[in-house]
Amino acid sequence: MMNLPLFLNLLVFLALLFGLAQTRHRNWSLAKKVLLALLLGVGFGIALHTVHGAGSPVLKASIGWFDLVGNGYVQLLQMIVIPLVFASILSAVARLHNASSLGKINFLTIGTLLFTTAIAALIGIGLTNLFGLTAEGLVAGTQELARLQVIQSDYAGKVADLNVPQLLLSFIPQCRERSESDQCH
């Protein structure tokens, strides 16, 4: 019966999370807390692989639920990166006492941006010439349109194949801002 071992795995996982949450009441450094979490995670993973075996369906189902916590945490962190960087830059500019130094900072920032862009462009031009790349294949053809129809028809099936933890995890966006051409899932 797969439900009981899965339930027990989740119960142990939640107990470990609760134990890690209790470390906030101790005067431990963040490094000690992270090291403890790492050691507990590695030990728990080894124990699960020993008990269930590497290809076990119970282990795969358990990992799906564990990913809800781990990947959810990472995706939530990714969501705050852009506003955090923006706030840090804004705070640094607001703390400038000498307004003339702002011009120097802007000049250095724009200069660095242009310099790195020029290097990237030169590398791109060099690789294009080295491999003889052209723009002939950039126009969408019948193969691309056929592939698009296959992808669109398969999308509904992939959503139906998600289990509960994957479905819950899909509600947390992985990125804050991207252009429409980029995929953000």
pLDDT tens sequence across 124-178: 999 988 988 877 766 656 777 777 777 777 765 676 677 778 777 877 777 655 5
Taking only the tens place, the pLDDT of each residue in 78-126 is 888 878 888 888 887 777 776 666 677 778 888 899 999 999 999 999 9
HSE toward the beta carbon, residue 13, CA cutoff 13 A: 18
Say what the pLDDT of residue 112 is.
Answer: 92
**Whole-number pLDDT of residue 82:** 78
Structure confidence at residue 4 (pLDDT): 92
Instruction: Tell me the C-alpha to C-alpha distance, in Å, between residue 116 and each of 69, 82, 111, 120, 126.
Output: 38, 21, 9, 6, 15
Checking if the pLDDT of 68 tops 70, the result is yes
Angstrom distance (rounded) from CA 72 to CA 169: 6
Check residue 5 and give its pLDDT: 92
Domain locations in the chain?
A: 3-134+152-170
